[in-house]
């Protein structure tokens, strides 16, 4: 009953699709479309996020491989990473095995994490993310600007991309404060040599909304 939907990331300057984000959806035969915010926390709590997360990773990477095979280039695919997945000792090997099986370069994959997740699991997370980054995997911070105020993790962790939370982006035309936050994050990303993504609220159903 699970499926993945893919949202495009559009490069502002060129208007071209530069990446896609994999979003987990659950279509229940009786309940209909279940919100990700309702079932993802349950998957996390029960530990089912590990097998489901592995399926998401494999399915998303397979889709990226399919896009390559039909001549659409090496579009990067972004997958959300939960706290339990980051703590999982077999995460690196799972990612490596998936990339090897599909003969994909690590740069095709991006793993999205939250600010809070970095702070809560800073010790082990540094080693895990450094190892993944060494494989070429890109690391992004989702909902940037809504979590912890400390910016020290931008120096400690191998972060490639800052994803500005949609709440700032959607309000910035009528709220000066939101506009300044967006401007500050863009400047911060530029000064640190990181990519910045503005998340736009077109349709958001749980973690990983439209961009």
| Cα gap 21→9, rounded to integer Å | 7
**Per-residue confidence (pLDDT) for residue 147, from 0 to 100:** 65
**Per-residue confidence (pLDDT) for residue 201, from 0 to 100:** 57
pLDDT digits (tens, 9 = 90+) for 118-166: 766 567 788 899 999 999 999 999 888 776 656 777 888 899 999 998 8
Q: Which residues pair with 77 in a beta bridge?
A: 20, 109
8 Å CB contact between 85 and 125: no
- 47 HSE (CA, 13 A, CB side): 1
Is the model's pLDDT at 171 over the cut of 80?
yes
| Cα gap 129→157, rounded to integer Å | 7
- Taking residues 41-64, report their average pLDDT: 96
**Per-residue confidence (pLDDT) for residue 47, from 0 to 100:** 94
Confidence bin at 186 (pLDDT 50/70/90): very high
Residue 104's SS3 state is coil
Is the model's pLDDT at 116 over the cut of 50?
yes
Mean pLDDT, rounded, of the chain: 87
Using CA atoms, how far residue 60 sits from 41, 57, 124, in Å, is 21, 5, 26
**Per-residue confidence (pLDDT) for residue 150, from 0 to 100:** 63
**Per-residue confidence (pLDDT) for residue 19, from 0 to 100:** 93
- Taking each helix axis from N to C end, the angle separating 91-102 and 49-69, rounded to the nearest 10 degrees, works out to 20
**Per-residue confidence (pLDDT) for residue 194, from 0 to 100:** 92
- Which of 69-78, 97-106, 131-140, 178-187 bottoms out in mean pLDDT, i.e. has the lowest? 69-78
- 154 HSE (CA, 13 A, CB side): 19
**Per-residue confidence (pLDDT) for residue 42, from 0 to 100:** 94
Q: Which residues contact 81 (CB under 8 A, 6 or more apart)?
A: 53, 111, 112, 113, 117
């Amino acid at each position: 009953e699970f499926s993945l939907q893919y949202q495009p990331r559009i490069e502002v300057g060129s208007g071209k699709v530069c990446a896609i984000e994999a979003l987990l959806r659950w279509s229940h035969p009786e309940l209909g479309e279940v919100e990700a915010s309702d079932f993802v926390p349950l998957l996390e709590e029960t530990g089912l996020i590990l097998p489901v997360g592995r399926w998401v990773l494999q399915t998303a990477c397979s889709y990226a491989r399919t896009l390559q095979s039909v001549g659409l280039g090496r579009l990067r695919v972004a997958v959300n990473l939960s706290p339990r997945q980051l703590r999982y000792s077999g995460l690196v090997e799972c990612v490596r095995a998936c990339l090897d099986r599909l003969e994909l370069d690590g740069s095709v994959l991006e793993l999205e994490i939250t600010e809070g997740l970095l702070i809560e699991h800073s010790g082990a997370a540094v080693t895990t993310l450094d190892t993944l980054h060494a494989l070429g995997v890109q690391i992004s911070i989702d909902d940037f600007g809504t979590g912890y105020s400390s910016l020290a993790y931008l120096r400690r962790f191998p972060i490639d991309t800052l994803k500005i939370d949609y709440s700032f982006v959607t309000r910035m035309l009528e709220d000066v404060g939101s506009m300044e936050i967006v401007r500050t994050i863009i400047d911060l990303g530029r000064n640190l040599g990181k990519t910045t993504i503005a998340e736009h609220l077109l349709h958001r159903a749980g973690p990983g909304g439209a961009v």
